[in-house]
Structure formats: structure tokens, C-alpha cells
Amino acid sequence: MTASTATSTGAQTATVLLLDGHSLAYRAFYALREVEMSTTTGQPTNAVFGFTSMLINLMRDEQPTHVAVAFDVSRKTFRAEMYADYKAGRSETPDDFRGQVTLIREVLDALRIPTLMVDGYEADDVIATLTTQATAQGADVLICTGDRDALQLVNDHVTVLYPKRGVSEMTRFTPDEVRAKYNLEPVQYPDFAALRGDPSDNLPNIPSVGEKTAAKWIREYGSLNELIEQVDTVKGKVGDALREHVGSVMLNRRLTELVRDVALDVDLAGGLDPLARQQWDRDEVHKLFDDLQFRVLRERLFDSVAAAAPEADEGFDVAFVRLGVDEVAPWLDEHARDGRRVGVSFRGSWGRGIGSLTGIGLAAGDGDAAYVDPAALSPGDDQALGAWLADATVPKAVHDVKGPLLALRQHGWQLAGVTSDTQLAAYLLRPDTRAFDLADLALRYLRRELRSNVENDSGQLTLDGGVDESDDALAEVETVRATAVRDLADAFGDQLAEAGRAANLLVDMELPLAHVLADMEAVGIAADPGALVDLQQELGDGVKDVEAQAHELVGREFNLGSPKQLQEILFDQFQLPKTKRNKTGYTTDADALQDLYVKTEHPVLALLLKHREVARLKSVVDGLIPLIDDHGRIHTTFNQTIAATGRLSSTDPNLQNIPVRTAEGRRIRETFVVGEGYETLMTADYSQIEMRIMAHLSHDDGLIEAFTTGEDLHTFVASRAFDLPVDQIDPELRRRVKAMSYGLAYGLSAFGLARQLKIGTDEARGQMEAYFTRFGGVRDYLRSVVDVARQDGYTETIMGRRRYLTNLNSTNRNLREMAERAALNAPIQGSAADIIKIAMLGVHRALAEGDFGSRLLLQVHDELVLEIAPGERAAVEALVRREMAGAIDLGDVAMDVSVGVGRTWHDAAH
């Protein structure tokens, strides 16, 4: 949408959207406080997420032509000077809210939405001034705020959008709605508020006078001034109370009145242009949303808000042919065998280990393109295309090759000669990006839309074949995609060459790994459906049993998932210490209940925590049962481009998240079994790989010694850090040191460590200082990582995987500290990810070269799971140990590989 600057003299009325930044940020924070929401570096983001989500909804639903956000500068305002106790008594800003307003302003800057604030005034005053100026220009104004004082601004051209519940449901306060709610005119609202008082602003009320009485007086007398003029006519005890508190009421009235002539940096007297919606830069938005890890929110933004940067003027010059019977081989010989890379786009569906092809687009190096319908091929065409796809001497570029590999496999074809995967290449260049859609990459790197410049008869197309499902339309979509892939691969080739060893990582690691992962997804892992159903019933009974125990202990039935009912039971009935306050009372999230249990050991808390754990496990089992295929196997999907550090993730289902820390969780692993025709499952993992990498990179003598003594690592480290004999290291101190050691490897701050250990920040900081005093090499290494990354703009793993962190030099403290934590985390976790990938490639290759029947099934971070064919156990174990231990040389720190076997995944643990 192009922002309109229409005024009362134009054909279109401008709509100005004004938001109260702090008010909505706090509302978003408390609405999502029960949700654990932070970046992998530990930066809380619930307020930023909630605010941005609400902003997107407002921009989508209201379609404003102009927009601005007002913020408070501080609590030192003219109102505080007028009344020292104004807003006194408000609780301190929660630690996990601090800094989020700054991040919200970064989001607004990226979206080119102006922010305004004036020292000595509140955001409400800025909004009142802008509203006055905008309506004078003939505009309609929408005010989104959680402060009801804004209702005094409502008129036929001004509407207040008041968040009714959380950040998703709004009440539209028009003049009629204000009348319906209060039976007052909007201009009377400040008089009413002065009589009512406002505890949130610490404005005193009149004893025994509530909202109904206050509204009744304003209706009867017309205004507060008239009421005060005739105060002696007010009868009864309420009249006495009013007369006694006239001074505070009049003060309230002055404090409640919004200022409508604040001197602002923008002046709308000459028109609304300063607030006109601006086109925002895709790259800047991508970068910030990557930092905040707002993948889904970014998709919503691009899908629903039309004020993005203009689409490119150009598409792709594609003149394609649809290859008919006996035309495939001649076209391939003429256009696709000259040594130049061919862009290939596959149309179809894939997932859960299988796939199907419905179309293939080909874009040759000479600019010619062709479309093939696999279902319409003759036997000769099928053979010719299959041979071309499998020809390793023909260089090919594909976008997101792993899924099509499943479909090709299903068809009986193989794919070789892939020299570039544009999704993987883009990931290596910008690993913090959370989306690698081909259309977006074409715009970002080629400045072209994913459409054809060539006139055709297929009509206007969308990327999914949209408005025209004709054969020509689908053919054009795929050939355009193939052309974009070819051109992107060429563009990425130059950039990868300039990005250290990124080109080698693509060709030697990520591309071959995609083939390995496709094989693993196709194989899946066997599951025992009977055992899963039995466990489902057992966990369901467990949920009911815990509920019954909780009801008996409390003395009545209640909903164990209801925060409101839990607050009443915990803090009123049992008088337990209060947790952090939120908008609805006191938080009852899992962390809060765990903290409370540690402090009180109250049995009701034990039951609530048990209920949540058992219910969570039941939901895992509930999700697994429908995913068992006809062969009794479950197929996950592995993702190479989700984690910025290079780690793989697993979805649909997430088999990397099968819990192992509780007895109930381990029961789930017992339901994954060796498949028919195989002898056993085998698990192999690296022992303490992150700490070994830390020792190697830091060259810390003490940490290296810890791996050569034969002592338990964390006991040894605790002994050295706190200067205690090994036999005096109790389990709690060992636990703390283990959390600290791994936390340092993950860039954990003192605040993050304190939250994890349930201790104070000062105590956590003291433990870190004691640790660093003994392990100075670790301290020096961590400092150098950030310093070098700040100078170079990126971190690098042992294998050369880069993570670019431009915010290391940001003037925004929050963004800078997020980048610093990421810089600490990336080299160690990224190196661990690279090492397990090298091991996977080695194991997979060795199994194939040795003609083994055994096969890889899963990768779970540092662990591999294999299915062992009869008679191959000893040989495969030796092979796995050799390939994993030899994946990298860490010098003085040996790689330790543990191996276990068993009929079930749990039995194979070690």
C-alpha cells in the first residue's frame, strides 16, 4: 500500500495510527510472560514478539496511511513535579523486561515507523498532540493504548483501540462505545477519572465512592467543575467524603488531563507527510528478525503487511518448451551437456520419508528452458532423463535438494552432479537468516521477482501456480524457478569463494550430507505401536492419578492448567510466597513453580510439576502414534538450515527431543525398537565434546589436564576451581560447575547462569569469577573470541563455518550483548556440529564401501543411532569408533566415543 497524504481537500481521508509504546510493550510482556520466549543467546523477547505481533495485526486490519509510536522518556514528568507520589509504588521493572523496549524501537526503525518522545511528558501527551494536529488536517485517528485516559480524545474522527485481552483482542472505543461503557460523553471522561482515582497511577480515590457514583455525579451535574461549584448539594456520607477530598479530586483532574500542544520534533501543521508509511528495506528487516529469531512472525509480516520495499521491476527472461514424447533426450543433448551448470526445479510433494514428482523445470546455461511432466514420459524419455539426472559429470543447481531426493528415490531415479544447493549456499553465507524462500533470495541477491518477463497465454501467475492451474502455467512457474536457481548458484559461487572455506563446506559437507539425511529419512526408525499405545494409556492414567491426588490435597476439584485457579490455591489457600507479579496476579509458569518448590517443598507443587511433566510426555506419545507408517516405522525430517550454529534439527516429529532425563521420558525411547530383519540398535556418541573443543581452542592447561587424569570431568574442574579435594565435591557443587562449564561454552551470562541454577546473580557472578581465576585460559579465549569477532565481523568454527555478527559494534547495548553471547557460542557449538556431520559422512560412506547391511537411522546432536544387520555388530562398532574418533584431530585432547547396543533405543544407551 502506498501511503496516502490525503487531507480533507483530497478524495481519500488519511488514517493515522498512533501507538503508546511503553503501555503496549508492558501489556505484551505480561500477556506472554507465561511463555518461555528468548533467543538462543538468552535475550528475553516476549515483549518484543507480542508488540510486533500486535503491530502487524493493526497494520493488516486497519490499513493506516500514516503511523507513529510514542514512548515515555522516564517517570520524571511535569506530573511527578506537580504530585510527588504520581505513579509511586509501581514495582521495579522486571529483569526480563529490561532492554526489550530498546529492541522494540529497533523493530520500528527497521520498519521505518517514526518514534517520538519528549522529556518531561508522557507518551499519552505526545499522542494527544499528534491527534489534535492530525484531525485538524482532516484525518481519522486510531489510538492503540492500554491507558484509558486516552478515551478523553475520542470523537467522530478519533477511535481508541484498547487491548481487551492480551495483545490480540481489542475494544473499539468510538463515542458510542464510550457512552455504552460509562454512560458518559468522551469529553467527560477526565472528570469521571478524577473522581474515581487511579491506583495504577497512584491517584487517590474518594472513600466509599466507586465508578457508578462517580459517573452518576458527572451525568447529574454535567462536569466536575459544576459538581464542585454545587458540592454542598451532594447528600449523605458520599457527599461528606467528596467535600473532604475536593483538593485531591481537583489535583487528579489536572493530572488526568492530556496535553495537546507538546512541542514535537515533527510538525503536522504543514501536512501529514512526517508520519506517512515508508517502504522498508527487506535486508534490514531480515537481519533484525534473524537476530530476534522471529521466523514465523517475519512470515506474517511479509505475507500480510504491504508496505515492504517495492518488488523488483524485472523478472526472468524465460522462453520455455514443454517436452513431449521422444523430445527429452534430444533437448538434453543439445542444451544440457555442454559443461555449463543447469538449474533444476522439482515440483511435487515430499516428507516423512517419501515423495512424488509432478513436474521438473530445467534452465540450461544457454538460456533455454524446458518443462517435463514425469507422468507423461515414454519409457525412452524416462530412461534418458534418469540417466541425465544420475550423470555426475553434468553440473546441476537445485534449491533445497533433500526433499526432491525422496521423490526421485520413489520414482526410481538418482541425482548426482549437484554442485550447488541455493538454500544451503544462502545458509552458509547468512546462517542467522531464518527463511530461505527462493522468491526472497531472488529479490535479495538478484533484485528480480520470481516471474517471467516473457509474454505468454497463461495469465498472471503466483509462485504456487496460483490463479491459473493450466499445464503452461505450471510449466512457466517451474522453469522460472529453475532459471532463478541457476542464476543464484552463479551469484553465490562468487560470494562463497570470498567467505573463507564456505565453498568447501558446501561441496564437501552440506551437499553430501543432504543425500545422507534423505537416506535416513527414507529409512526411518521402527516403533512398537503396541508399546506406544500401552504407554499412552499409562501416561493418561498417570495424569488422572496426579489430578486426583492434587484434588484430594486441595480439598476440591480444580483445573491444574488454570493460572487463575492455581493463584488462588497457592497464594490464598496455602499462603505460599508470591512469585513474580503479572497482569493477572502472580506467575504460575513451570520455572516459577520449580523455584517455589525448591524454597518450600510443598506437596501441592510437587504434584503440579509432576502433572505438567506427565501431560507433556503424553502429548509426545499422542503425536507419535499417528506417524507410524504401514511398515511400522516413524520418519522424521532433518533440517540443515534452521540453527545458525550449523546444528541439525528434527521436525515432524522431533526425534531429537525425546526426553531422557526422567524415568517416564526414557520409557518413550523404549518404544523405538530394532526393525524386522535386523539384529540390534546401536548408539554412539561423543563424550563431553563441547568441553573438549573448549579445551582445544583455549589451550587451557587445567582444562586439558582434566581430560587426561581419568577423573570425572566436572568433579575435577570443581575441585580445581574451588580449591577443594575431589572427595569433598558434593553433587550440588558438581551440578553447578557442570552448568557453568557448558554455559560458558554456550555464551551464558551471569544472569542466565543464575536463572539456570536458581541462585542470585551476584552468587552466579562470584562462581564464574572463581572458575576463571583457576581456568584463566578459558577466560582469555572467551574474551579473544569476542574481540576478534568484533574486528572481523564474524566468528569461525574449526572447519571454517562463519557466523556473521555485525551487531558486535552496535550502539544498541541489547543488540550488542546478544551478538557477544552469540560470538561466544558459535565457535564451540558450531565446531561440534561440524564434527558430527563429518562423522556421519564417514560412517555412511564406510558402510556403503564395505557393503554392509547396517544403516544410519538418526542423529541426535552428538549421538548417532544405527540399525545393525545380523552378524555385523563388531565390525560396525569398530567402523563407527574409527570414523567418529577420526573426524577431527584436537591435538592434546582425545576424542572419546561411547557405544551401546540393545533391542530398543533405551537399551542401546550407554
Count of C-beta atoms within a 10 Å radius of residue 711: 14
Average pLDDT, the chain: 87
**Model confidence band, residue 461 (pLDDT cutoffs 50, 70, 90):** very low
CB atoms within 10 A of CB 682: 24
Pairing of strands 354-363, 342-351: antiparallel
Query: What is the arithmetic mean of pLDDT over 654-668?
Result: 82
Share of the chain above pLDDT 90, in %: 53
Residue linked to cell 555412511: 844
Residue 130 has pLDDT above 70, yes or no: yes
pLDDT of residue 751: 78
Q: Which residue type is seen at 525?
A: I
Predicted local distance difference test score (pLDDT) of residue 83: 65
Burial bucket for residue 692 (CB in 10 Å: 0-12, 13-18, 19+): buried
Res. 205: pLDDT tops 80 = no
pLDDT of the residue at 904: 97
Can you tell me the mean pLDDT for 724-749?
Answer: 83
Residue 202 has pLDDT above 80, yes or no: no
**Predicted local distance difference test score (pLDDT) of residue 818:** 83
Instruction: Give 20-36 pLDDT, tens digit per residue.
Output: 998 899 888 888 876 66
Long-range contacts of 159-168 (CB under 8 A, 24+ apart): 161/58, 163/24, 163/27, 163/54, 166/27, 166/31, 166/32, 166/50, 167/24, 167/27, 167/28, 167/31, 167/32, 167/50, 167/51, 167/53, 167/54, 168/53, 168/54, 168/57
- pLDDT tens readout for residues 613-642: 899 899 999 999 999 999 999 999 999 998
pLDDT for the residue 5? 41
Sign of the Cα torsion 459, 465, 471, 477 reads positive
Is the alpha carbon torsion for 601, 602, 608, 614 positive or negative?
positive
**What would the mean pLDDT of 725-747 be, rounded to a whole number?**
83
Q: 20-34, 290-304, 556-570: which has the minimum mean pLDDT?
A: 290-304
| Confidence (pLDDT) at 432 | 82
Bridge-partner residues for 651, per DSSP? 637
Largest CA distance in the chain: 104
Higher pLDDT, 564 or 332: 332
Note the Cα 476 to chain centre separation in Å: 34
Output Rg (C-alpha) for the chain, integer angstroms: 32
The pLDDT of 561-577, averaged and rounded, is: 90
Alpha helices by DSSP H, listed for 319-468, are: 328-335, 379-390, 402-411, 422-429, 438-441
d(C-alpha 780, C-alpha 569), whole Å: 50
Alpha helices in 625-730 (DSSP H): 663-670, 689-698, 701-706, 713-721
Q: Identify the CA nearest to 185 among candidates 173, 195, 196, 197.
A: 173
Question: Where is pLDDT greater, at 250 or 143?
Answer: 143
pLDDT band at 465 (very low <50, low <70, confident <90, very high): very low
How many other C-beta atoms lie within 10 A of the C-beta of residue 739?
Answer: 17
Phi, psi of 158 (to 5 degrees): -130, 125
Q: Tell me: pLDDT of 434 over 80.
A: no
Q: What is the pLDDT of residue 240?
A: 72
Exposed e or buried b per residue across 526-547, where buried means at least 16 C-beta atoms within 10 angstroms of its C-beta: bbbeebbeebbeebeebbeebb
pLDDT band of residue 95 (cuts 50, 70, 90) is confident
Residue type, 11: A
Share above pLDDT 70 across residues of the chain, in percent, rounded to a whole number: 92
pLDDT greater than 60 at residue 497: yes
Q: Which three cell numbers stand for residue 148?
A: 484509558
Residues ≥6 apart with Cβ < 8 Å to 433: 286, 290, 426, 427
- C-alpha pair distances (Å), 33 with each of 49, 51, 89, 772, 814: 11, 13, 21, 33, 19
Please give the domain boundaries of the chain with CATH numbers for all domains. 15-182+260-292 (3.40.50.1010), 319-523 (3.30.420.10), 690-828 (1.10.150.20)
What secondary structure letter does DSSP report for 685? Answer: E
Examine the pLDDT at 329 and tell me if it is beyond 60.
yes
Higher-pLDDT residue of 72, 214: 72
Q: What is the mean pLDDT of residues 767-782?
A: 87
For residue 7, pLDDT beyond 60: no
Q: Read off the C-alpha cell for 11.
A: 478524495
The confidence score (pLDDT) of residue 306 equals 61
User: Quick one: pLDDT at residue 464?
Assistant: 40
Higher pLDDT, 230 or 351: 351
Residue 351 has phi, psi (to 5 degrees) of: 150, 155
| CA-wise closest residue to 670 among 657, 678, 660 | 660
Q: Give start and end residues of each alpha helix (H) in 76-140.
A: 78-82, 100-110, 123-136
Question: 637: which 3 cell numbers?
Answer: 525430517
Instruction: Indicate the range of 37-41, 53-57, 294-298, 838-842 predicted with least confidence.
Output: 37-41
516, 839, 851, 873, 900 from 848: Cα distances, Å: 11, 14, 5, 15, 22
Decide which of 643 and 902 is more confident: 902
The structure's pTM equals: 0.76
Query: What number of residues does the chain have?
Result: 910
Each residue of 372-416: pLDDT tens digit? 999 999 999 999 999 999 999 999 999 999 999 999 999 999 999
Cell numbers 529419512: residue: 521
Residue 901 has pLDDT above 90, yes or no: yes
